[in-house]
Amino acid sequence: MPKLSSFVPRVLASLALVTVLGSAAWAQQPPTVRIRGTIESVDGAVLTVKSREGTDLRVRVTNDVTVIGVAKTTMADIKPGSYIGVSAMPEPDGTQKALAVHIFPEAQRGAAEGFRPWDLRAGSTMTNATVAQTVEGTDGQNILVRYKDGEKKVVVPAGTPIVTFVSGDKSELKPGAKIIIFGAVKKDDGTLEANRVNVGRDGIMPPM
């Protein structure tokens, strides 16, 4: 039977190796890029996209790409229990002033739940959460949303874009389509790859 004094160093060395390998695997995760823009052309599986910054990007979509339509809807579809995403600007009193609201289908309840910085505008935020209450206010609709770590009060001014996600089709990936890709993967050779593309319906730019 091996002595404990010789066994312990081997265990510690093994744990150290696992930690190093785990860190290396994490470090090797490819970076992702958020893309907002308009499809300029399509060549097989490659989309040429003019980004909102004016840059031409080439994005290869996977064979099994999921296409999601982004369709206009109204405040009437936001009810207690709805799972929504709110891109917003923080107000001095701690409320969030909505820039856009998107309603998730039930199958996506819980997607990216929580509150975080966002890049729609400088200083903007994103809250994915469940509607606890909605009340008409003087500045617009007041919505209380709750997520696993807290809650936010949101004011939705009149005219705020409100959209919902609907099933889409690969045929919608065509010149002129306005899209947002939340997580295009940047490959080692600099190319971009996407397995999910959100396309604005009826010519709208996805407002998220």
Tell me: the pLDDT tens digits for 87-146?
999 999 999 999 999 999 999 999 999 999 999 999 999 999 999 999 988 788 999 999
Looking at residue 189, what is its pLDDT?
80
Residue pair 208/87 in contact by the 8 Å Cβ criterion: yes
Task: Note the pTM of the prediction, 2 decimals.
Answer: 0.82
Q: What is the pLDDT of residues 82-99, one digit of tens each?
A: 999 999 999 999 999 999
The number of beta carbons lying within 10 Å of the beta carbon of residue 43 is 9
Looking at residue 104, what is its pLDDT?
97
Measuring CA to CA, which residue among 175, 176, 173, 167 is closest to residue 194? Answer: 173
| Least confidently predicted of 41-50, 91-100, 184-193 | 184-193
